[in-house]
Each structure stands twice: as C-alpha cells, then as structure tokens.
Amino acid sequence: MKNIIEVKGLRKKFGLETVIKDVTFHVKQGEIFGLLGPSGSGKTTIIKILTGELAKTAGEVSVLDFSSKEFRTSYFRSNIGILSDNSALYERLTVNDNLKLFCKLYNTPIDRINGMLREVQLEETREKVVSKLSKGMKQRILLAKALIHKPDLIFLDEPTSALDPASADHIHKGLQKLNEEGTTIFLTTHNMEEATL
Ligand SMILES: Nc1ncnc2c1ncn2[C@@H]1O[C@H](COP(=O)(O)OP(=O)(O)O)[C@@H](O)[C@H]1O
Ligand SMILES: [Mg+2]
C-alpha cells in the first residue's frame, strides 16, 4: 500500500522553544496509526500541522499527495476528517440539525445522516437536543460529524481521553469497523492500550 502521510525531519518552534524535533514517520493507506506520547510531547501540534491548522518550522510533510502549502484549501479539507478538542456541536440544536449543517458545509447528501448515526449506534438520538446527551454520546456524534463526508483519512486527537470505558469501547469498535471499510486512521493517545487498537 502506498504512503498516505509522509513526514520527514519535521520541526516546530513556538518562539524560541522547539517542541517538535526532527520527527520522521509515514502512514500507509488502510493503516490505523497511533501516535503515542505523554502530555506536552507535541501530539496535538503534529495533528494541527498535518491538517493545515499550524505551519511547520522545517521539514517535509505531505498528506494524501497534497503538500503542506495546499493544506488550507477546501479541496484538501473535503478529503480528511478531524476529531479534536476544537470539534464542537451546537448544543441547542438537535443531533439531526447539527449533522444537516455539516452536510451542507461539506456538500454531502443529508440522506447519509441515518446511516452515519447507525455506525456510531446512536440512531435513537436523532431528534434529541445535543445539550441533553452524555459526554460519551456527544463524542460519538462528533465522530459521526467528522465522517459524514466519507473522508479517506481521519485524524483523531485523543478521541477517548475523557470518556468512561464503555464509551471508549463504542468509539474503538466504530473505528475498527471504519478501518475495515478502508478508511485510514491517524490517532494520538497517551494510553498504551489505545495505541495497540
Ligand atoms: N500555540 C502554542 N504556542 C506556544 N506553545 C505551544 C502552543 N501549542 C502548544 N505549545 C507547546 O508545545 C508543546 C506540545 O504541546 P501539544 O502539541 O499540545 O502536546 P500534546 O498534544 O502531546 O499534549 C507543549 O509544551 C505546549 O505548551
Ligand atoms: Mg494534545
């Protein structure tokens, strides 16, 4: 399988502080790649660089054959999915209305919503207001949101870090199924067990 992500000699400085020091790795198409490291080791920074949210200081980065210069284009963004701390839902809207908005944003047919909710096993929440859902349920809806446009590659920044074991298990099962269907998964974690998903 070909490399879907290539990172060579990546470096990132914030002011005078170098937080990423010459990191090199690649991710093959179809892989589940777990980036394991303690808090503060630069995992979120790496995801932000790979998704165009932050500029690198030095090194070479390509994702899905796009060079880092192209990461801010909407075409690149329509090919990836992101679940991070910055991902959010409109608390006062229903799950359905939230997902409908994201379908519009990504030019995705809204008839995908049902199937997507089935994937995360939350079909029954479709007409519920988001503020009434548990944290674990919200995270699964965020996963559905990150996947609604069927990206080939998804980035997940500590997707289960604040969840109870049962909710984490739901997320892991969803990710494994997704991967079996061909989606490449890049996830960060500080949890050894999750790294061996
Ligand atoms: N925007 C920023 N400005 C300055 N320093 C930052 C910024 N973002 C992250 N850092 C620093 O970079 C280091 C790595 O952070 P981060 O990528 O969030 O690590 P992790 O996700 O592994 O916990 C930390 O020391 C953090 O304080
Ligand atoms: Mg982080």
Average pLDDT, 10 consecutive residues per value, the chain (197 residues): 96 97 96 93 97 96 95 91 94 97 92 92 95 94 93 95 87 90 94 72
Atom of ligand 1 nearest to the CA of 42: 17
Cα 50 to middle of ligand 2, angstroms? 14
Does 107 reside within a domain? yes
Tell me if 90 is assigned to some domain.
Answer: yes
Q: Running DSSP on this structure, what letter comes out for residue 190? A: S
| Contact 107 CB / ligand 1 (< 6 Å) | no
From the CA of 46, the nearest ligand is 1
Q: Which ligand is nearest to the CA of 38?
A: 1
Atom of ligand 1 nearest to the CA of 190: 22
Q: Is the CB of 44 under 6 A from ligand 1?
A: yes
Q: What is the pTM of this model?
A: 0.93
Ligand with minimal distance to 85 CA: 2
Residue 197 domain flag: no
Specify the pLDDT at position 29. Answer: 96
Give residue 23's pLDDT. 97
| Residue 49, domain CATH | 3.40.50.300
**Res 15: pLDDT:** 96
Q: How many domains does the chain have?
A: 1
Residue 197 has a pLDDT of 66
Q: Which atom of ligand 1 is nearest to the CA of 46?
A: 17
Domain that holds residue 173: 3-192
